[in-house]
Amino acid sequence: MHYTYKTKGTCSTQIDLDLEGNVLKHVTFTNGCNGNLKAISSLVEGLTVEEVEEKLKGITCGFKSTSCGDQLAQACLAALEAQKKES
């Protein structure tokens, strides 16, 4: 399932991801720190939503209360919920 998430409070403005069941298959970020976000995308592909949440939820960036990683965890949870509603 493809899912688009509009981020809040980060330099990245959007996350597009694909889920197969609860496994993250593809992630792309719009805007933000290009190299770092490509690295995060590469590292999380193949992980479950729960693994992404465990690793990234709650991470902050500088003075911000969130980060691109934290927003990715939230995006994964939102995508999983949307997928359940479609079923």
For the question of whether the overall pTM of this predicted structure is more than 0.75, the answer is yes
**In the prediction, which pLDDT does 56 show?**
98
Judge contact between 87 and 71, C-beta under 8 A: no
Q: What is the pLDDT of residues 23-78, one digit of tens each?
A: 999 999 999 999 999 999 999 999 999 999 999 999 999 999 999 999 999 999 99
Name residue, tokens 């990683």.
69
Choosing among 3.30.910, 1.10.287, 3.10.450, 3.30.390, the CATH entry for 2-86 is: 3.30.390
**In the prediction, which pLDDT does 64 show?**
96
**In the prediction, which pLDDT does 10 show?**
98
**In the prediction, which pLDDT does 42 show?**
98
Name residue, tokens 């403005």.
13
Confidence of residue 87 (pLDDT cuts 50, 70, 90): confident
**In the prediction, which pLDDT does 25 show?**
96
Q: Which residues of 13-43 are buried (b: 16+ CB within 10 A; e: fewer)?
A: eebebebeebebeebebeebeeeebeebbee
In angstroms, the CA 83 to CA 68 distance is 22
